[in-house]
């Protein structure tokens, strides 16, 4: 992390600001509320997605540390790993991905297509580990191996979810505030997929800093509500000094009802959400994150938690490349 007091620097990697668009056909299909979408699936870098914003800070920090190679970790179909590989390629750096076979019962497409195909095209070295492996230890081993070969590496955490990565989503909240003002709208709620937590933590920190009062609903894709809340509080503790404030943990709202059997395991509600949004808006969601987050929004509307007069933002975080790893589910 940068020394306190200095403003962290960024490397421009994405096409920003991303578009903010209404979803009129989806809104009328669901009987109101007014649903808008923030197109962070279109950040541009190597297929795009939410990790691009985080990597603008994280790659700048790696460079500041003198790194010629970055190391990160995730599941085989990690969108974070794929965007990190693309960022490294763009900046002329090496990239080693430690990818765990964390999702059971998948087929050959999961193993080789989607993000795995793209990692290879971006020239990353992939190290595959069986489920349950200690990826932090494996990343430290890679760093030692690279050091012995005279390389300087920097480890980027899973999902890019530390305070510095989350700072990019506090910035993104300021971006949305400006866009909403330009459209003359005000969001009552924001729905976002939440995994390693950096995106939601950043949005919550940014919300507090911007003086907005939307309710940010994080739809968990893996952890229980208590686990995810603890993770978010930990990231906020790193982010707050960078924002120069203190974000109340009461702004953290999590919903773990869409996880299904486990991380990366399809649910019927996810399949419905992916199909409906594709057919009504021409927008591609993904099976692991945004399909489940949209299923959470559908459920909240149908269950009356979100009223027909509300204005809702669905924050699209990317991941459609993962559809090609889940062909058999559709
Ligand atoms: C990583 C990811 C998320 C979750 O973001 P976190 O910051 O890890 O919580 C959501 N959607 C997609 C498509 C992702 O790749």
Report whether pLDDT(121) > 70.
yes
The Cα–Cα gap between 312 and 86 comes to: 32
pTM: 0.97
For the record, the structure tokens of 192 come out as: 């976002």
Q: How do residues 140-150 score in pLDDT, each as one tens digit? A: 999 999 999 99
Cβ atoms of 20 and 38 within 8 Å: the answer is: yes
Predicted confidence band of residue 6 (pLDDT cuts 50, 70, 90):
confident
Q: Is 161 among the residues known to form the active site?
A: no
Can you tell me the mean pLDDT for 210-224? Answer: 96
The pLDDT value given to residue 32:
83
Cβ atoms of 37 and 21 within 8 Å: the answer is: yes
The pLDDT value given to residue 84:
98
Q: Is 291 in the pocket of ligand 1 (CB under 6 A)?
A: no
The pLDDT value given to residue 80:
98
Q: Is 318 in the pocket of ligand 1 (CB under 6 A)?
A: yes
Q: What percent of the chain has pLDDT over 90?
A: 97
Predicted confidence band of residue 7 (pLDDT cuts 50, 70, 90):
confident
* Active-site entry in 6, 9, 27, 78: 78
**What is the separation of C-alpha 80 from the centre of its chain, rounded to a whole number of angstroms?**
7
Residue 143 has phi, psi (to 5 degrees) of -60, -40
Residue 117, SS3?
helix
Report whether pLDDT(311) > 90.
yes
**Integer CA distances (angstroms), 322 to 56, 109, 128, 293, in order:** 22, 10, 18, 15
- What atom of ligand 1 comes closest to residue 286's alpha carbon? 13
- What atom of ligand 1 comes closest to residue 79's alpha carbon? 15
Please tell me which residue, 273 or 7, carries the higher pLDDT value.
273
Q: How far apart are the first and last CA of the chain?
A: 42
Q: Is 222 in the pocket of ligand 1 (CB under 6 A)?
A: no
Q: How do residues 12-32 score in pLDDT, each as one tens digit? A: 999 999 999 999 999 999 998
Q: How do residues 218-261 score in pLDDT, each as one tens digit? A: 999 999 999 999 999 999 999 999 999 999 999 999 999 999 99
Strands 20-22 and 34-39: antiparallel
Report whether pLDDT(274) > 60.
yes
Helix, strand, coil percentages for the chain (3-state, nearest 5): 50, 15, 35
Report whether pLDDT(4) > 90.
no
Q: How do residues 41-88 score in pLDDT, each as one tens digit? A: 999 999 999 999 999 999 999 999 999 999 999 999 999 999 999 999
Helical spans, DSSP H, in 2-78 = 24-29, 51-64
Q: How many CB atoms lie within 10 A of CB 226?
A: 10
Q: How do residues 287-308 score in pLDDT, each as one tens digit? A: 999 999 999 999 999 999 999 9
Residue 183, SS3?
helix
């Amino acid at each position: 992390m940068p020394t306190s007091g200095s403003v962290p620097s960024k490397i421009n990697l994405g096409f920003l600001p991303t578009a903010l668009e209404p979803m009129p056909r989806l809104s009328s299909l669901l009987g109101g509320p007014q649903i808008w979408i923030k197109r962070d699936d279109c950040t541009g870098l190597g297929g795009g997605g939410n990790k691009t914003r985080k990597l603008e800070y994280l790659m700048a920090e790696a460079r500041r540390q003198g790194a010629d190679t970055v190391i990160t970790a995730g599941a085989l179909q990690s969108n974070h790993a794929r965007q990190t590989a693309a960022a490294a390629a763009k900046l002329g750096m090496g990239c080693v991905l430690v990818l765990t076979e964390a999702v059971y019962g998948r087929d050959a497409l999961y193993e080789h297509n989607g993000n795995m195909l793209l990692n290879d095209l971006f020239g990353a070295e992939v190290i595959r580990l069986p489920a349950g492996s200690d990826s932090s230890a494996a990343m430290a081993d890679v760093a030692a191996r690279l050091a012995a070969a005279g390389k300087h590496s920097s480890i980027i955490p899973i999902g890019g979810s530390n305070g510095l990565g989350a700072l990019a989503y506090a910035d993104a909240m300021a971006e949305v505030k400006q866009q909403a003002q330009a459209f003359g709208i005000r969001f009552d709620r924001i729905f976002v997929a939440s995994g390693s937590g950096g995106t939601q933590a950043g949005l919550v920190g940014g919300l507090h800093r911007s003086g907005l009062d939307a309710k940010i609903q994080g739809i968990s894709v893996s952890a229980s509500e208590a686990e995810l809340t603890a993770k978010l509080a930990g990231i906020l503790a790193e982010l707050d000094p960078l924002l120069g404030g203190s974000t109340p943990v009461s702004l953290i709202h999590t919903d773990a009802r869409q996880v299904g059997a486990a991380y990366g395991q399809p649910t019927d509600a996810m399949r419905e959400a992916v199909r409906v949004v594709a057919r009504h808006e021409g927008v591609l969601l993904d099976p692991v994150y945004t399909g489940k987050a949209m299923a959470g929004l559908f459920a909240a509307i149908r269950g009356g938690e979100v009223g027909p007069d509300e204005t809702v933002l669905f924050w699209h975080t990317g991941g459609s490349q993962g559809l090609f790893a889940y062909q058999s589910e559709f």
